[in-house]
Structure 1
Amino acid sequence: MNLSRQTIVNISSPEVNVPAPSYFDLPEKVLQFGTGVLLRGLPDYFIDKANKQGIFNGRVVVVKSTRGGDSDAFAQQDGMFTLCVRGIENGETISENIVNASISRMLSARFDWAKVLECAQNPAMEIIVSNTTEVGIELVLEDIRATPPGSFPGKLLAFLLARYKAFNGSADKGMVIIPTELITDNGAKLKKICQQLAVFNDLPANFMTWLDQHNHFCNSLVDRIVPGKLPAAEQQEMEKTTGYKDSLMIKSEVYRLWAIESNSERVKKILSFREADAGVVIAPDINVFRELKLRLLNGSHTFTCGLSFLAGFSTVKEAMGNPAFNQFISALMLQEIAPAITGDNLSLEMAKDFALKVLDRYRNPHIDHQWISITMQYSSKMKLRNIPVLLKHYERNGTVPELMAAGFAAHLLFMRCTQDNDQLYYGNSFGRKYLVNDDHAAWYAEKWTRLEAADLVREVLSDAAFWDADLASLPGFAEAVTGYLQQLLEQGAAPLIEKFQSDSMIA
């Protein structure tokens, strides 16, 4: 049995959450640019959950801009797909199978552009969501009357112009526009591009006013790991359990966050799906959520990826299964990073609460996150994510953060590399060759060819042009990094991690 609107009534498995027949009669309220698994696993998840609770009562029209993909599958399954939620939350194992029916139909921007513009005439349409990758939010000077325009902002502006004309510039028919692309201030940047493009297309002044005053471009931050399709064996097992086949079935972790920046009561009213799940947060300033994610989740990854990889761990979940590493990264987050990032809008309690949730995510047995992937552009990540935290720690304490120092030492050792015949840079750890995928690999390679450990540490740390700070001037930091680097060179990473545990340096 294949998943479809006709067969949904035959699904009797208690393992599956299915929509009621009345769900399919809900009006279309959302226009979604993008078909990727992140949109299906996060915004569409929240909308589906709210619909099933009778809160939002609206469906999603998906606009597909790329060629190929799952268009036929969406048509055959009436837009439905199964989301398998797997992971740990508050120490408890979570396993849910949800048939998501939030998508009413999929339209191709290339072949169905007239139908996309027809959606602008729908008075119930209120929200536009996008995830077109970071490259999607760029200014392309083009004619928005093309069928269709090439860029996402061009398509968006064409839709808004059609909306303006359909309702004679009515103030209450402006849209709530929420890009989820992973760039800072994505909503503000998208609005500015649309305004520039409107000027380029010589659009009427009244439209420009309506665009500016009656459409809400909201900055947003999304956070959920959605690996996508299930492995073949797991897919087959799910089909046996549920009693149906679903070629669009995807998996996600339990944790979910969609932080949307707005202080508008109209926006809050329109985004009523927020009432269905605490993972949707609407706030006047979402920088606190960005800081938490950047420093505790991304930052802890960066401080430990080299150390864990050199210790022989391939994935995050494998490392978390090691008691010594588990204790190391927990202490790093709770004892060193969390206290350093607190401020007027971010309490220590908030930081520690977020850190505990991140640790649950790291322990998720259903997600295979490769450490070597996390090391990509290692040096830039270290600079952007972690050096500000290191400096804040010193401002407040003036002492060496030992776990950060060990993480930095492992970073230096991981970056010990040489250029191969393919012009790429490779490192070697106990006979295991690995790619150093970093734009600054040559910079590190040159230093390793001519410097001993202590001199290398001093020269790297003192390069203020590289780090935007003279890290060698931080009291005791260079000495600590040198000491840990020597231990890594002599004994390896795994013994160093265990030594932290045995010496009771971490609680």
Structure 2
Amino acid sequence: MSKQFINDKNLQQLAVHAAIPGYDRSQVAPGIVHLGLGAFHRAHQAAYTEAVLASGDLRWGIVGVSLRQADTRNALAPQDQLYTLAIRSEQEERLQLIGALVKSLLAPEDPAAVLAAMADPRCHIVSLTVTEKGYCHDPASRALLLDHPDIVHDLARPDSPRSALGFIVHALALRKQADIAPFTVLSCDNLPSNGDTTRGLVLAFAEKVDISLAVWIAEKGAFPNAMVDRIVPKTTDTDREHIASVLGAEDAWPVMTEAFTQWVIEDKFAGPRPAWERVGVTIVSDAQPYEHAKLRMLNGSHSSLAYLGILMGYATVDQTMQDVYLPQFISGMMAQEIAPTLSRPGLDAYRTELLQRFRNPALKHQLHQIAMDGSQKMPQRLLGTIRARLAAGLGIERLCFAVAGWLRYLAGATDAGAAYELSDPLAVTLKTAATAPSDRVQALLNITAVFGSDLPADRRFVESIGRHYRRISELGTATALQQLSAELAELAGMEAEHAR
């Protein structure tokens, strides 16, 4: 007996179990091309856009593009691009079928189709969730890596790009040739000033193609900065089985997420855009305060929990929040070392909200998922905060403990000796340094793509990292964390006594 999958034909019968699109999907125009068709986009930007379509504005269907693997396209195409969004809390689960995706393309299979979709006059926005490593840049300096294999290929082969930057620039060139206004490039990745960063990389690439193209993009294009926030764990086979049992139909790739969601975008667009502000998006003149708070408070804390938690033998974020010392450590780091570097209003409430989200047992957010690509994430998640604290002459002990945890994680085994594989663009370089016969800390700090040249030259930073690294390596993460907690408590007591 063949399996029944969700599709347009059985939407009405699925409405008994889930919210379904209430608009005519056949009338939706492809107004957005999204590069990086992963779970986060489908739980976040596509969900907001679904609400816009439901309001009656059908100009904003999404053409999703997978830049590497066929798995998402292969899962969604037989389902008429429909998928289930499962919103989970400790108390309940709500299901919604998302219909905003009108087509899914696989870039390596048909790059011309991707370029055509981006050059279509109906396309006004090209958005991205390609992860930090997808920008082919040096995370420390934010410069384009002209020797990156994908960039070298894309400059030579404008008809068949591989990278997001290659597709953007060559599609913009097609629009310029056809006298079509440029689309807005909307980065939704966790990069510092992601719009400004993307603009700089696009212009650097375009200058190598045609200087007049770079000038046209600079004058007429738009790259708004944006902040995105929603926790989206990796979908498991258990999730698929559960969704099928509820719907009575298979979904090859449902997406799990939390109830919380936030999207802040600068109001800087090159042309029309969806009325996202009517469905919960915050449109602002300056996204930086929100972006810094999210990168440093949420992402910095997530990475810290991931590396320290893995070393201690935990598997998910909610498990780390049941530890004796980790919740106190993370709360203290956010309140005392991260928050003073930020200007977003309501930081105390934001911290409380984050700690509650981390405790959500329904998500089962895997630590190894968060730990991936640390070399690309550390500069903006933790090192930027450390630089701000150093410049102000403020303490950095918790932040450095978290960074030392990452350095110890790079050795590839937990405190109990359980091995795991590193998933990182610099995996070979990192593991070689992390297992060097002597002075591993210095070998790691000498990786300028991560630490730049300033931090390895800062005595306070180097000494703090070295001290915490030795403790974690010699005593184990739990004991080292216990000692740090005791020292910080004693220091706080001394400061309070001095203040009196």
The Cα offsets for residues 42-72 of structure 1, whole Å up to 9 and x where unpaired, read as: 2212111221233565211223443532434
**Contact 2:305–2:317, Cα closer than 8 Å, also in 1:** no
Name the SS of the counterpart of 1:270 in structure 2: coil
CA contact (8 A) 1:46 1:274 kept: no
Cα 1:315–1:70 shift into 2, 3 Å? closer
Q: Which residue of 2 aligns with 1:223?
A: 229
How big is each residue's C-alpha offset from its partner over 1:211-242, in whole Å with a ceiling of 9 and x where there is no partner? 3322212333433332242x323322221212
Structure-to-structure mapping, 1:428-443, within 5 angstroms: 429=415, 431-433=416-418, 440-442=433-435
Change (3 A) 1:25 1:311: same
The alignment status of 1:341 with 2:341, answered yes or no, reads yes
Residue by residue, what CA displacement relative to the aligned partner does 1:294-348 show, whole Å, maximum 9, x if unpaired? 32223334555566556554432112234664444334423x1354224xxx15x
SS across alignment from 1:216: coil
How far off is 1:118 after superposition?
Answer: 4.5
Q: Does the CA-based 8 Å contact 1:310-1:492 persist in structure 2?
A: no
User: Alpha carbons of 1:286 and 1:217: their partners in 2 closer, same or farther (altered >3 Å)?
Assistant: same
Corresponding residue to 2:93 among 88, 92, 95? 95
Contact 1:61 1:105 in 2 (8 A): yes
Alignment-mate amino acid for residue 187 of structure 2: P
Using the TM superposition, name which of 359-368 and 385-394 deviates more.
385-394
TM-score, normalized by length of structure 1?
Answer: 0.72
Q: Secondary structure at the residue paired with 1:7?
A: helix
SS in 1 for 2:346: helix
Are 2:191 and 2:380, in contact at CA under 8 Å, matched by a contact in 1?
no
Gaps (5+ residues) in structure 2? 137-145, 423-429, 442-452, 494-500
The match for 2:330 is 329
Shift of 1:78: 1.1
Shift of 1:284: 3.3
The alpha-carbon distance between structure 1 residues 201 and 308, as it changes in their structure 2 partners (threshold 3 A), is closer
Give the Cα separation in 1 of the matches to 2:298 and 2:277.
24
CA deviations over 1:158-214 (Å, ceiling 9, x no partner) = 322333344xx35xx3311113344334444444454455454448x4x65543322
Task: Check if 1:252 corresponds to 2:248.
Answer: no
**Larger strand share, 1 or 2:** 1
SS in 2 for 1:159: helix
How do residues 82-481 of structure 1 correspond to structure 2 at under 5 angstroms? Answer: 82-87=84-89, 93=91, 95-119=93-117, 122-138=120-136, 140=151, 142=154, 146-166=158-178, 169=179, 173-202=181-210, 205=212, 210-229=216-235, 231-263=236-268, 270-277=273-280, 280-301=281-302, 308=309, 313-322=314-323, 325-334=326-335, 336-342=336-342, 346-347=343-344, 349-371=345-367, 385-386=381-382, 389=385, 405=397, 425=411, 429=415, 431-433=416-418, 440-442=433-435, 446=439, 467-471=456-460
Contact between 2:266 and 2:286, CA under 8 Å: does it hold in 1?
yes
Rate the CA distance shift 1:9–1:326 in 2: closer, same or farther, 3 A.
same
Say which SS state the counterpart of residue 56 (structure 2) adopts. coil
Paired-residue identity, %: 20
Checking the alignment, whether the CA contact within 8 Å between 2:313 and 2:414 is kept in structure 1 is no
Q: Which one-letter code corresponds to 1:359 in the other structure?
A: L
1:24 corresponding residue in structure 2:
26
1:28 and 1:60 in contact (8 A); partners too: yes
Does the Cα contact within 8 Å between 1:410 and 1:485 map onto a contact in 2?
no
Aligned: 1:2 with 2:12: no
Tell me how far apart the structure 1 counterparts of residues 49 and 55 of structure 2 sit (CA, whole Å): 10
3-state DSSP class of the match of 1:75?
Answer: helix
For the residues of structure 2 that align with 1:160 and 1:392, how far apart are their CA atoms? 37
User: In the aligned structure 2, how far is the partner of 1:186 from the partner of 1:369?
Assistant: 25
